[in-house]
C-alpha cells in the first residue's frame, strides 16, 4: 500500500485537474507506488462507520433505509444517516443546500470513514458548486455510488485528485458478485481485475454477460466516466475531467437510441473521444428505439463512434443499472484488454 506519499496532497485545483489523466510513463510499476497527485482514501474496515447520504433523488419509504442499514451492518459496518437523508423537495432529497451540507458534513466528520449514496435519481449537478473541495481534499474518504452520482464521482476526482468509486448504491442488490468486488477494491485494497462472470447455465455457449470487442488490444490510462447522460453535463463546466489519455467507462438506462447517439456525438465534437486511450462500454439497460420511426441499433451506434478511434474498445462490461456490478475506481490508473474483456487496476485504490 502507498505510505510515503499518502500525505502529499494536491497543492492547487489546477494540479488536481491535471492529475485526472496520467501518461503511460507516469503509471505505477508496482502496487506500492503512488503516482504524484493521486489521493487515496483509507481502506474501509469492519467496525468503520458508513454515512448514508442522499445527494440526488428522494427515497419515499422507510423500508429501503432499513434494508440498506441491515445490509451494511451485515458487511461489518456501523451506519449513520445524514441529517437530510430522508428529506424531500419534489423529486430531490431535500434542497440543494441540504443535500450538499450532508455530503460536506460526512467528509468533515472524523467519526465517518466512508460515504455511500442511498440512491441515484437526479440532482447531483445542482450541488457541485456547493461542495467544499478543499475540505474534501483534506479529509479523503471512500465515496461510492453510480448513475446520477457520476457527477459527484468525476467532479470530486477532477477537483481534488481523490479516487472515488462507481459502485452499488445503498438500495442496490448486494449479491455475492457485487459484494465481492466492493470488498476487494474498497476493503482489501487489492488490485482487482474486473471480469464478467461466465454463466453458461448448461448451454453450449454463454448467452448472458457477453462482451464484444469493437477494437482489440490493451491500453493504460486513468479510469473516468460512468453514466453517459450525466457525464455529458460536465462538459463546459469547471468539473469536467481531463480525458487526455484516459480509459472512459460508460453506461446508461432508459434512453432512446437516438439520444445515446446524440450524447456520443457531443463527446466526439467536444474532443473527448479523440483524446482517449481506451473505452469500456457497460450496460445500456432498456435503451431502445423510440416509437414511430426507424433507428440504428446500439451496436451500430457504438461502431460508428468507437471503431474508427483505433484504440482498444469493448462493450458489455458488468456495470450500470444491472444486478451484478463492479466497483470501479474513478481516477485510478488501470489497464484494459479489449480482447479478453477485462479492466485491471495497476495499483490499490485505497491505502
Residue 6 pLDDT exceeds 80: no
Active site residue 215: no
Choosing from 54, 113, 147, 327, which is the catalytic residue? Answer: 147
Q: Provide mean pLDDT across the span 324-333.
A: 98
Q: State the pLDDT at residue 292.
A: 67
**Can you give the pLDDT at residue 133?**
98
Choice among 46-55, 125-134, 191-200, 237-246 with the minimum mean pLDDT: 191-200
Residue 295: per-residue pLDDT: 85
Residues 99-114 have pLDDT tens digits of 999 999 999 999 999 9
302: pLDDT strictly greater than 80: yes
- Look at residue 291 in the predicted model and tell me its pLDDT: 77
Summarize the confidence of residues 86-96 as an average pLDDT: 98
Instruction: Tell me the average pLDDT across 194-207.
Output: 80
Q: Give dist(CA 351, CA 38) in Å, integer.
A: 11
pLDDT > 70 fraction of the chain, expressed in percent and rounded: 89
Active site residue 70: no
Is the pLDDT assigned to residue 206 strictly greater than 90?
no
pLDDT at 203: 74
At residue 4, the pLDDT reads 38
pLDDT of residue 177: 97
The active-site residue, picked from 54, 172, 251, 315, is 251
All three cell numbers of 28? 505505477
> Quick check: 11 pLDDT over 90?
no
Grade residue 200 by pLDDT with cuts at 50, 70 and 90.
Answer: low
* Mean pLDDT confidence for 318-344: 98
Among 48-57, 59-68, 169-178, 285-294, which is the least confidently predicted range? 285-294
What pLDDT band is residue 296 in, cutting at 50, 70 and 90? very high
Please confirm, yes or no, whether 251 is among the known catalytic residues: yes
Tell me if 13-187 shares its fold with 193-345: no
Q: Among 64, 134, 125, which Cα is nearest to 100's? A: 125
Q: Please state, in angstroms and rounded to a whole number, the distance separating the CA atoms of residues 15 and 20.
A: 9
Strand order in the sheet with 164-166: 78-81, 49-53, 114-117, 142-145, 164-166, 328-330
Across 278-289, average pLDDT: 96
Choice among 113, 166, 215, 321 that is catalytic: 321
Residue 329 pLDDT more than 90?
yes
CATH 3.40.630.30 assigned to domain 193-345? The reply is no
Fold of 13-187: Rossmann fold (3.40.50)
At 293, the pLDDT band (50, 70, 90 cuts) reads: low
**Residue 249 · residue 220 · CB < 8 Å:** no
The pTM (predicted TM-score) of the whole model is 0.89
Mean pLDDT of the chain: 90
Q: What is the reported pLDDT for 26? A: 39
State how far the alpha carbon of 147 is from the alpha carbons of 48, 144, 201, 226, 247, in Å: 25, 11, 29, 7, 18
| Domain spans, the chain | 13-187, 193-345
Q: What is the reported pLDDT for 208?
A: 81
Query: Percent of the chain, pLDDT > 90?
Result: 84
* 108-119 as b/e: b if 16+ CB within 10 A: eeeebbbbbbbb
Please name which of 246, 50, 51, 40 lies closest in space to residue 162, comparing C-alpha atoms: 40
pLDDT digits (tens, 9 = 90+) for 21-54: 333 333 333 333 344 479 999 999 999 999 999 9
Mean pLDDT of 241-256: 97
Residue 170 has a pLDDT of 98
pLDDT for position 32:
34
Amino acid at each position: 500500500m502507498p505510505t510515503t506519499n499518502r500525505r502529499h496532497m494536491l497543492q492547487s485545483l489546477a494540479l488536481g485537474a491535471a492529475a485526472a489523466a496520467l501518461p503511460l510513463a507516469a503509471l505505477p510499476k508496482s502496487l506500492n507506488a503512488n503516482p504524484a497527485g493521486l489521493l487515496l482514501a483509507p481502506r474501509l474496515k469492519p467496525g468503520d462507520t458508513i454515512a448514508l447520504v442522499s445527494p440526488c433523488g428522494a427515497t419515499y419509504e422507510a423500508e429501503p433505509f432499513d434494508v440498506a442499514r441491515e445490509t451494511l451492518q451485515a458487511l461489518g459496518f456501523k451506519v449513520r444517516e445524514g441529517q437530510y437523508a430522508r428529506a424531500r423537495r419534489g423529486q430531490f432529497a431535500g434542497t440543494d443546500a441540504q443535500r450538499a451540507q450532508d455530503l460536506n458534513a460526512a467528509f468533515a466528520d472524523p467519526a465517518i470513514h466512508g460515504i455511500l449514496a442511498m440512491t441515484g435519481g437526479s440532482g447531483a449537478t445542482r450541488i457541485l458548486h456547493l461542495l467544499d473541495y478543499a475540505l474534501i481534499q483534506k479529509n479523503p474518504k471512500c465515496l461510492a455510488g453510480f448513475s446520477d452520482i457520476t457527477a459527484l464521482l468525476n467532479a470530486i476526482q477532477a477537483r481534488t485528485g481523490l479516487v472515488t468509486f462507481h459502485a452499488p448504491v445503498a438500495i442496490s442488490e448486494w449479491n455475492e458478485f457485487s459484494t465481492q468486488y466492493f470488498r476487494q477494491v474498497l476493503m482489501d485494497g487489492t488490485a482487482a481485475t474486473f471480469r464478467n462472470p461466465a454463466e453458461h447455465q448448461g448451454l453450449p455457449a454463454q448467452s448472458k454477460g457477453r462482451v464484444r470487442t469493437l477494437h482489440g488490444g490493451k491500453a493504460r490510462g486513468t479510469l473516468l466516466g460512468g453514466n453517459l447522460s450525466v457525464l455529458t453535463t460536465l462538459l463546459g463546466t469547471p468539473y469536467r475531467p481531463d480525458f487526455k489519455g484516459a480509459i472512459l467507462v460508460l453506461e446508461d438506462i432508459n434512453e432512446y437510441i437516438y439520444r445515446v447517439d446524440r450524447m456520443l456525438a457531443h463527446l466526439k465534437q467536444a474532443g473527448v473521444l479523440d483524446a482517449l486511450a481506451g473505452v469500456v462500454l457497460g450496460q445500456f439497460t432498456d435503451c431502445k428505439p423510440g416509437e414511430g420511426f426507424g433507428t440504428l441499433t446500439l451496436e451500430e451506434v457504438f461502431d460508428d463512434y468507437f471503431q474508427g478511434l483505433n484504440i482498444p474498445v469493448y462493450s458489455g462490461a458488468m456495470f450500470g443499472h444491472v444486478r451484478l456490478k463492479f466497483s470501479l475506481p474513478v481516477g485510478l490508473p488501470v489497464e484494459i484488454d479489449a480482447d479478453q474483456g477485462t479492466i485491471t487496476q495497476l495499483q490499490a485504490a485505497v491505502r
